[in-house]
């Protein structure tokens, strides 16, 4: 994940205070709230970034977490891809995840999440399962 202080132009201290992140002063590279304007929606994307550090065991890595929401609809794939590019390095893998039904929690109807276990490799499928490289990319997202 990129250093969040590099994204201070998008940071919203007011939103951080509203959601309780003001208590983490001095941890600007581990958590924060950001408002990202795009051409695809009149309201900015609301982005909350956090790192959760469970007790240290091999089965419990720290997790980078990025939540992205809008007031009246879920973010699109293009918007989520834009946020992923903004908050993560180009060579990093991050994921949207569908958890087991028993673990599913939704506190906002129009919020999606990007996850990344810290210090662990996320397995990815062979590229042929994603598409045929020789066909190239059909379009690049614009936000």
In a domain, 143, yes or no: no
* Domain boundaries, position 103: 4-135
Which pLDDT tens digit goes with each residue over 68-116? 999 999 999 999 999 999 999 999 999 999 989 999 999 999 999 999 9
In a domain, 33, yes or no: yes
Residue 9 has pLDDT above 80, yes or no: yes
Per the model's pLDDT, the better-predicted residue between 82 and 13 turns out to be: 82
In a domain, 142, yes or no: no
Q: How far apart are CA 17 and CA 38, in angstroms?
A: 23
What distances in angstroms separate CA 58 from CA 19, 24, 32, 72, 124, one per listed residue? Answer: 30, 26, 27, 40, 20
In a domain, 59, yes or no: yes
Those residues with Cβ within 8 angstroms of residue 6's Cβ, 6 or more apart along the chain or in another chain: none
Those residues with Cβ within 8 angstroms of residue 92's Cβ, 6 or more apart along the chain or in another chain: 1, 116
Confidence bin at 141 (pLDDT 50/70/90): low
Q: How many domains would you assign to the chain? A: 1
């Amino acid at each position: 994940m990129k250093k969040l202080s590099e994204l201070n132009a998008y940071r919203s201290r007011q939103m951080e205070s509203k959601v309780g992140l003001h208590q983490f002063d001095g941890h600007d590279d581990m958590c924060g709230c950001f408002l990202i304007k795009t051409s695809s929606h009149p309201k900015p994307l609301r982005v909350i970034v956090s790192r959760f550090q469970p007790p240290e065991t091999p089965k419990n890595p720290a997790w980078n977490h990025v939540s992205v929401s809008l007031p009246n609809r879920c973010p699109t794939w293009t918007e989520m891809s834009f946020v992923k590019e903004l908050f993560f390095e180009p060579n990093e893998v991050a994921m949207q995840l569908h958890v087991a039904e028993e673990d599913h929690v939704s506190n906002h109807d129009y919020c999606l999440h990007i996850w990344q276990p810290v210090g662990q490799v996320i397995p990815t499928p062979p590229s042929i399962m994603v598409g045929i490289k020789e066909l190239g990319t059909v379009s690049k997202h614009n936000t």
